[in-house]
Amino acid sequence: MKKRIVSLLLASMMAVTGLVGCGNSNTVATSGQDTSKASSGGDVHITYALWDSNQEKGIRKMADEFESKNTGIKIDLQVVGWADYWTMLEAAGTGGSLPDTFWMHSNEIYKYASNNMLMDLTDKINKSNEVKLSNYPEGLVKIYNQNNKQYAVPKDYDTIGLWYNKTMFDKAGLSYPDETWTWDKLYDVTKKLTTGDGKQYGFLAPLHNQEGYYNFVYQNGGTIITDKKESGYDNPKTIEAMKYYTKFVSDGLSPKIFDDAARAQAMQNGLCAMGLFGSWNLSGFASNDYMAKNFNVAVLPSANDGKRATIFNGLGNAISAKTKHPEEAWKWVQYLSSKEGQTKQAELGVAISAYNGTADAWVASNKTFNIKCFIDMVKYAQIRPYSNTTAKWEDKAYELLKGSFTGEKPVEDACKETAKMMNEVLKQEK
């Protein structure tokens, strides 16, 4: 009798855990289908998926304005964090229930466009009076163009700046970073700002590509990926930059930080005097009292020979190929991409709008920090390296480069291993 109870319990346990798992995947799969249910009420609901909760408030304001001008269309925002966003989107794509409109990124565009998940916007753009591709930076337009078909319209762009703690500089009697700074200067000042007891470090050199070593690699004339789609990690200039970058960690001038969220915490807790962070952190940093009071931002230092670079990337607004309301979805994306929508986005400080000439409105949106430097860097900005399967080699590169940050592996070996792995992945690309 007892034995049977045990097996019954086991069976019911399995059933319950199975149910739980099922419940989770269901919510993901159906999230895009809300539109059809809600539309029976008379209004057409367009879902808009995004991953940055910092931008949600501003975008909601824009959506309200759009709704007041286009009666009968309602915009439903779906905010999912960066890592889960792509898992959610892939599951939704597999189940044929993508959100009507959503953010696209250079890492993933190839996968979605080549599998016919996105609506071809070329005709719609040609017919539109409000969207002209010549109004956006060319590099950004190109990211979302495949076989002469445009799959997304640039929404915004971002660059990386050098954030610094004014109070720490004042205390040490040093002058703030500016455009005259070089690698040597950065290293010297970092040394002066490091106390050595682990309470204050001069610089934050985390294991992070876009807000970390990518910038130094391109400043040094190195590359991550060549035009021929080969890895640039074994390029001597790349290795040299990686050596310079990891030296901050090995010399004890930067804390060893590997966790993504811990990077900003290190700044907000006054652990590091300087650090590289992208323009999209603006609203997050401005709302932190400590940072708003003590921090400012400057252009990135140049390499010792004067070469400058910063990593530049931009998101796009895309429409699902299977949306039930293509006209309404396009109206929304058109509004987001129009001069009016883009200016509004800049004024609200949501992000640097991609539309040429709206940068000043963004600069004026924030008086706390000297954010004009993000715009100044655009002229020598380098598009974030990408290929058809960026996501595959980017995270594996972290796994292989890690040893050079912990000091277990020489930088050169780590870079060469990364190059080997990356070339194998690139070879498998169609």
Partner 1 sequence: MAKDITLTRRKPSKKTINEWKWAYALIAPTIIGLIVLNIIPILQTLYLSFFKSGDFGKGNIFVGFSNYKKMFTDIQVWHAVGNTLKYTIIVVPVTVIIAMILAVLLNSKIKGKGVYRTIYFIPMIAAPAAITMVWKWLYNNQFGLINYMLSKIGINAVNWIDNPKVALYSVAIIGIWSTVGYSMVLLIAGLQEIPKDYYEASNIDGASPVKQFFNITIPLVSPTLFFVMVTSIIQAMQVFDVIYMMIDVTSPSYDKTVSLVYLFYNSSFKYSDKGYGSAIVMLLLAIIMIITVIQMKAQKKWVNYM
Q: How far, in Å, are 47, 151, 393, 416 from residue 37 at the CA level?
A: 12, 27, 40, 53
Question: Which residue of 32, 58, 93, 99 would you call a contact of partner 1, by CB under 8 A?
Answer: 93
Question: Which residue of 24, 36, 53, 115 would you call a contact of partner 1, by CB under 8 A?
Answer: 115
Which segment (161-169, 182-190, 257-265, 333-341) binds partner 1 by CB under 8 A? 257-265
**How far separated are the first and last CA of the chain, in Å rounded?**
60
Q: Are strands 201-204 and 272-278 parallel, antiparallel or unpaired?
A: parallel
Q: Map residue 204 onto helix, strand or coil.
A: strand
State yes or no: residue 24 binds partner 1 (CB under 8 A). Answer: no
Which segment (30-38, 109-117, 307-315, 413-421) binds partner 1 by CB under 8 A? 109-117
Q: What is the token pair recorded at 39?
A: 């539309």
- Based on CB atoms, which residue is closest to partner 1, 327 or 395? 395
State yes or no: residue 399 binds partner 1 (CB under 8 A). Answer: yes
Specify whether the CB–CB gap between 400 and 209 falls below 8 A: no
Residues 401-430 that bind partner 1 (CB under 8 A): 402, 405-406
Question: Which residue of 251, 395, 424, 429 would you call a contact of partner 1, by CB under 8 A?
Answer: 395
Q: Give the shortest CB-421-to-partner 1 separation in angstroms.
A: 12
State yes or no: residue 9 binds partner 1 (CB under 8 A). Answer: yes
Q: Give the shortest CB-103-to-partner 1 separation in angstroms.
A: 18
Q: How far, in Å, are 42, 83, 110, 351 from residue 355 at the CA level?
A: 34, 27, 23, 11
Question: Which residue of 191, 378, 391, 412 would you call a contact of partner 1, by CB under 8 A?
Answer: 391
Question: Which residue of 26, 36, 94, 356 would you call a contact of partner 1, by CB under 8 A?
Answer: 94
Q: Give the shortest CB-169-to-partner 1 separation in angstroms.
A: 21
Q: What is the token pair recorded at 54?
A: 């910092």
Q: Per-residue DSSP letters for 313-356?
A: B--EEEEBTT-S-HHHHHHHHHHHHSHHHHHHHHHTTSSEESST
Count CB neighbours of 347 within 10 A. Answer: 15
Question: Which residue of 260, 327, 424, 429 would you call a contact of partner 1, by CB under 8 A?
Answer: 260
Phi, psi for residue 421 in degrees, rounded to 5: -60, -45
Q: How far, in Å, are 23, 51, 84, 352 from residue 27 at the CA level?
A: 7, 17, 13, 33
Which segment (62-70, 90-98, 162-170, 177-185) binds partner 1 by CB under 8 A? 90-98
Question: Which residue of 210, 398, 416, 423 would you call a contact of partner 1, by CB under 8 A?
Answer: 398
- Residue found by looking up tokens 């080997």 in the block: 420
State yes or no: residue 90 binds partner 1 (CB under 8 A). Answer: yes
Residues that bind partner 1 (CB under 8 A): 1-3, 6, 9-15, 18-19, 21-22, 87, 90, 93-94, 111, 114-115, 117, 207-208, 255-256, 258-260, 262, 265-266, 269, 271, 391-392, 395-396, 398-399, 402, 405-406
